């Protein structure tokens, strides 16, 4: 569906509050049954427009990105070494490292101190892998993406906003790459 140059899909679920999602570059409106999408679009049109611009920029930048081909063994060794170094630097402890394909994120860190790594990360340059790993281990110090969290990230990666954008462009590139 399209409303004022905003293309979207509607999904109705048994939920109380509506929400907007841009998980794969397409706007999805998740709505309670019977609710109209028009109010949600109207109330959030500025946010939607900004997010669409960001996605277009990432897609454009993804054309200039190259995928790194490393073996699973080299990838796991890289992750292991990075986790050891970063955990030591941050004075945090990791319980276990798990590897699996994840559909919406690069990695996660659980309250039990388990680090789950998206296997697609093996196609990223080392700098992005290091950033993701650092980002997740900082969550052991600060759970939320609040000011303190970003201050801790900024101590090691002053250019974290650029790295975040590059990760989105790699995500779009890898999604295209996986479909081939």
- CATH number at 136 reads 3.30.2010.10
pLDDT of the residue at 119: 95
> Domain limits at 142?
72-179
CB-based contact 70:78 (threshold 8 Å): yes
Within a domain: residue 67? no
Average pLDDT of the segment spanning 22-47: 84
- Give the CA angle between residues 103, 105, 110 to the nearest 5°: 115
Name the domain boundary from 62, 83, 99.
Answer: 62
**CA distances (Å), origin 19, targets 28, 44, 91, 98:** 8, 10, 37, 30
Q: How many structural domains does the chain have?
A: 2
Within a domain: residue 147? yes
Both 138 and 50 in one domain: the answer is no
pLDDT of the residue at 155: 95
Both 103 and 161 in one domain: the answer is yes
> Which region among 22-36, 61-75, 125-139 has the lowest average model confidence (pLDDT)?
22-36
Name the domain boundary from 39, 62, 85.
Answer: 62
Report the candidate in 70, 82, 126, 136 with the shortest Cα–Cα distance to residue 106: 136
What DSSP state is assigned to residue 180? -
Average pLDDT of the segment spanning 49-60: 82
- pLDDT tops 60 at residue 179: no
Each residue's pLDDT tens digit, 146-167: 999 999 999 999 999 999 989 9
Mean per-residue pLDDT of the chain? 89
Rounded to two decimals, the pTM is: 0.79
Within a domain: residue 126? yes
pLDDT of the residue at 130: 97
Within a domain: residue 25? yes
C-alpha–C-alpha distance, residues 74 and 72, integer Å: 6
Both 52 and 133 in one domain: the answer is no
Residues 112, 121, 155, 63, Cα dihedral to 10°: -150
Both 134 and 76 in one domain: the answer is yes
Both 101 and 159 in one domain: the answer is yes
- Confidence tier at 180 by pLDDT (50, 70, 90): very low
Both 45 and 94 in one domain: the answer is no
More confident residue, 24 or 122: 122
- List alpha helices for the chain, DSSP H: 38-43, 45-62, 72-90, 126-138, 147-156, 160-179
Both 46 and 76 in one domain: the answer is no
Share of the chain above pLDDT 90, in %: 57
């Amino acid at each position: 569906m399209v409303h004022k140059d905003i293309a979207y899909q509607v999904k109705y679920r048994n939920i109380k509050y509506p929400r907007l999602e841009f998980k794969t570059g397409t706007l999805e409106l998740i709505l309670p049954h019977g609710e109209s999408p028009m109010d949600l679009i109207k109330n959030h049109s500025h946010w939607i427009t900004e997010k669409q611009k960001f996605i277009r920029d990432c897609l454009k930048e993804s054309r200039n990105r190259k995928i790194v081909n490393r073996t699973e063994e080299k990838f796991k060794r890289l992750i292991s070494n990075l986790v050891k170094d970063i955990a030591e630097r941050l004075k945090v402890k990791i319980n276990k490292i798990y590897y699996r394909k994840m559909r919406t994120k690069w990695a996660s860190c659980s309250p039990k101190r388990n680090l789950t790594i998206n296997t697609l990360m093996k196609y990223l340059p080392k700098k992005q892998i290091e950033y993701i790993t650092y980002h997740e281990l900082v969550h052991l110090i600060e759970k939320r993406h609040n000011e303190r969290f970003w201050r801790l990230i900024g101590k090691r990666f002053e250019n974290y906003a650029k790295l975040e954008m590059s990760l989105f462009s790699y995500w779009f590139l890898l999604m295209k790459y996986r479909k081939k």
